[in-house]
A and B are shown apart, each in its own frame.
Chain A
Amino acid sequence: MSAAIGVRAAQLGRRVLVLTVDPAKRLATALGLELNDDSDKPVEGLNLSAAVVDSKKIFDRFLRTHASESGVVDRIMKNRLYQQMSTTLSGSQEFTALERLLQATESGHYDLVVLDTPPTKHAMDFLTAPQRLSSLFSETITRWFSSPDEKPKGFIASIVGAGTRTVLKSLEILTGGQFIEELVDFFAAVRSIQRVLRERSLAAEALLKNESTKFIVVTSFDAAKLVEAKYLQGQLKKMGYRLKAVVINRAFPLWLPDGERASAEATSAETKLQVFFDQFRDYYRTRYSLYEDFAKGLDKSIVLTRIPEYRQDIHGLDDLKALAETLSEATV
């Protein structure tokens, strides 16, 4: 869907970059993306480029750019916690996606950057990532883990608060001492880049709240999913993010003709199919009324679009363009 939105905007004349985190193989091929290369790739025939967000590469590059001395970079890269954390750290995928977004908007090459948010069970994880990370790397916290002269060993004795001492001792019961050492070492090393980490997290948050940043929620035609979408809409508003459009995927099929019923001379096949058709229509009618209720609850300023059921499989750029064309100008 992000790719389709990107294509539509490009067709309408803007210079677009689509950033995608975990593209399906066919989509990646259609956009000319390769697994090992995360640079911006221009797409044939359109004023559009696409790129994969490679979390590990972005994190490593970030380290090399911002660490004050190369010794620190090596120390962090060797730390086992970093090796684990840089890719699996809850929030790291979001941080790197947002960092990539920041870089793209700062480059000046594009009028529009579309970010496909990382796959999480709930979009809220993505939206709260900058705050979670910046709170972890806040000055107060990193100070708790490192002594004034940055000595990683025997630090527990020199730690400020009795609270931390007790907490870490109890953590040792669960994890064993070695983990604590690694944790301390990690934070000591991170101390030198924590300010930048925090600044970038705050910049990412500011970007998300900026007037020119819009959110598009893609959901499906299912009662529980619509409730979730409504909740998300409320949360976005509360956090100061701007919801622009809601796209409902897998909506009822296009071909729902209210046509004539089978005539008296209908063949048995036609009659059987008519019965089946009626079942389908009644089924979709119920879902349609759920949709109508949902639509009523949305703010007037939010664009609501339905993408019909059949346009799901993307085999190539043409399919993507066809899907893009179903999106109105107001959506993008």
Chain B
Amino acid sequence: MPITSLNDKRILFVSGKGGVGKSLIAAGLAKELADSGKKVLLAEIGETSYYRDFWGLREEIGHHPQRHPTEKFDLALWSGETSLREYVLFYLKMERLYNLFFENKVMRALVNVAPGLSEIAILGKITSGIRKVGPPMNYDVIVVDSYATGHALALLEAPKGMMEAIKFGPMGHHSREMDNVIKDESLIGYVVVTLLEELPVTESIEFRDRLNTEFGVNPVIVANKVMHAPVSVNELNDVTHSSNAGLAEFANHVKAVNERQEEYGKLLAQSGAQIVEVPLIFSADADTLVKKTGEALRAL
């Protein structure tokens, strides 16, 4: 799959082990695509927002997309509850009936606990533009800052589970549609973010294999926070013998990191996946981080 093909997807699904920086990668992708002229939505899923604190936004990020104050893309936060509410309203249409539905203690309890209902609602929202269901979403691409690996799989597997439980009616039909969309690589691109360390790499390879086997898709792997020391191997070796003890110790550390990165980089490459590296960025400023990350992802 040529590296430039991520450009034509309608949905980019970004996942990875918790703590590897997938939210930043998703933001970088959104920025690159938006700056190149596309209509982009950066969507978070779940109950609370990461991006609000990350960018220090005054306004809350809500279910309905709003433009980022400085960037060219929109932001939204889709939770199970808001997505389900929108879906039900779309079908039931009558306000009174809707109130009955959600005020009713039974329904509230059920919605809180029902298997995969939250996941289906969210996946439904993500794919609604493509499936032409629900309120219109006129974006060229939606970048989804998804859940961490395990939970992301549960999200993608939800339609299948729902199709088992509900064979008829709109919910059964929609679940089937969703299942088809997530398996269609002409529409959706998968990005798995990792660090060049043992646990993330192992988990990423397993995740990639499962995506391949269960959904027939080929995710791109982004190796994040890769350290590029501005010295050659020989120069490093020299400094480890330096009379400056502090520098020598640092040199040893850099050597160790290089070796580890090489080892796990090779392991990743062996998996056959397409890999892109994003360097370690020495900044705590959100705008700088997103800008530099986006630049590194330009290859995609």
Residues of A within 8 A of B (CB): 22, 24-26, 80-81, 84-85, 88-91, 119-122, 124, 132-133, 135-136, 138, 140-141, 144-145, 163-164, 166-167, 170-179, 182, 220, 222-225, 227-228, 231, 249-250, 253, 255, 257-260, 262-263, 266-270, 272-277, 279-280, 282-283, 286-287, 290, 312-313
B171's partner among A174, A262, A280 (CB-CB below 8 A) is A174
Query: B residues 63-108 with Cβ under 8 Å of A?
Result: 88, 91-92, 97, 100-101, 104-107
A175's partner among B50, B169, B236, B284 (CB-CB below 8 A) is B169
Q: Give min CB distance, A176 to chain B, whole Å.
A: 3
B57 at interface (Cβ–Cβ under 8 A)? no
B230 at interface (Cβ–Cβ under 8 A)? yes
Given the interface pairs A122-B46, A223-B53, the reply to whether A24 lies near B199 with Cβ below 8 Å is: yes
Q: Is the CB of A277 within 8 A of B250?
A: yes
A262's partner among B50, B202, B247 (CB-CB below 8 A) is B247
User: Can you report 8 A-B residue pairs in the complex whose CB atoms are below 8 A from each other?
Assistant: A81-B115, A89-B114, A141-B105, A166-B97, A172-B169, A222-B19, A223-B53, A275-B230
Given the interface pairs A170-B101, A270-B242, A273-B247, the reply to whether A121 lies near B151 with Cβ below 8 Å is: yes
A122's partner among B47, B105, B118 (CB-CB below 8 A) is B47
Q: Is the CB of A175 within 8 A of B172?
A: yes
Given the interface pairs A88-B161, A90-B114, A259-B247, the reply to whether A272 lies near B284 with Cβ below 8 Å is: no
B253's partner among A26, A255, A262 (CB-CB below 8 A) is A255
Q: Is the CB of B239 within 8 A of A224?
A: no
Given the interface pairs A223-B54, A270-B244, the reply to whether A250 lies near B113 with Cβ below 8 Å is: no
Q: Give min CB distance, A89 to chain B, whole Å.
A: 5
CA of A319 to CA of B297, assembled, Å: 35
Q: Is the CB of B282 within 8 A of A279?
A: yes
Q: Is the CB of A277 within 8 A of B161?
A: no
From A22, A263, A273, name the one whose CB has the most chain B CB atoms within 10 angstroms.
A273
Given the interface pairs A122-B46, A253-B253, the reply to whether A132 lies near B112 with Cβ below 8 Å is: yes
Q: Is the CB of A269 within 8 A of B47?
A: no
CA of A139 to CA of B265, assembled, Å: 56
A224's partner among B53, B165, B231 (CB-CB below 8 A) is B53
From A81, A85, A270, A283, name the one whose CB has the most chain B CB atoms within 10 angstroms.
A270
Given A124-B47, A228-B53, A313-B198, output 8 extra A-B contacts at Cβ < 8 Å. A84-B164, A122-B47, A122-B48, A132-B109, A178-B167, A259-B244, A273-B236, A276-B231
CA of A283 to CA of B282, assembled, Å: 6
B300 at interface (Cβ–Cβ under 8 A)? no
CA of A124 to CA of B171, assembled, Å: 28
B249 at interface (Cβ–Cβ under 8 A)? yes
Measured between beta carbons, the chain B residues less than 8 angstroms from A286 are 284
Identity of the chain B residue whose Cβ is nearest the Cβ of A249 in the assembled complex: B19
Q: Give min CB distance, A207 to chain B, whole Å.
A: 21
CA of A279 to CA of B283, assembled, Å: 9
Measured between beta carbons, the chain B residues less than 8 angstroms from A121 are 46-47, 147-148, 151
Given the interface pairs A80-B165, A269-B239, the reply to whether A133 lies near B113 with Cβ below 8 Å is: yes
B115's partner among A25, A85, A267 (CB-CB below 8 A) is A85
Q: Is the CB of A136 within 8 A of B110?
A: yes
Measured between beta carbons, the chain A residues less than 8 angstroms from B246 are 257-260, 277
Measured between beta carbons, the chain B residues less than 8 angstroms from A224 are 23, 50, 53-54
Measured between beta carbons, the chain B residues less than 8 angstroms from A313 are 197-199
Q: Is the CB of B112 within 8 A of A167?
A: no
Q: Give min CB distance, B293 to chain A, whole Å.
A: 15
CA of A272 to CA of B112, assembled, Å: 57
B126 at interface (Cβ–Cβ under 8 A)? no
B3 at interface (Cβ–Cβ under 8 A)? no
Q: Is the CB of B19 within 8 A of A220?
A: yes
Identity of the chain A residue whose Cβ is nearest the Cβ of B54 in the assembled complex: A224
CA of A24 to CA of B201, assembled, Å: 12
Q: Give min CB distance, B49 to chain A, whole Å.
A: 9
Identity of the chain A residue whose Cβ is nearest the Cβ of B238 in the assembled complex: A269
Q: Is the CB of A176 within 8 A of B197?
A: no
Q: Give min CB distance, B265 to chain A, whole Å.
A: 16
Q: Is the CB of A89 within 8 A of B250?
A: no
Q: Give min CB distance, B251 to chain A, whole Å.
A: 6
Measured between beta carbons, the chain A residues less than 8 angstroms from B168 are 175-178
Q: Is the CB of B161 within 8 A of A250?
A: no
Q: Is the CB of B284 within 8 A of A287?
A: yes
Q: Is the CB of A175 within 8 A of B109?
A: no
CA of A121 to CA of B22, assembled, Å: 13
Q: Is the CB of B110 within 8 A of A140?
A: no
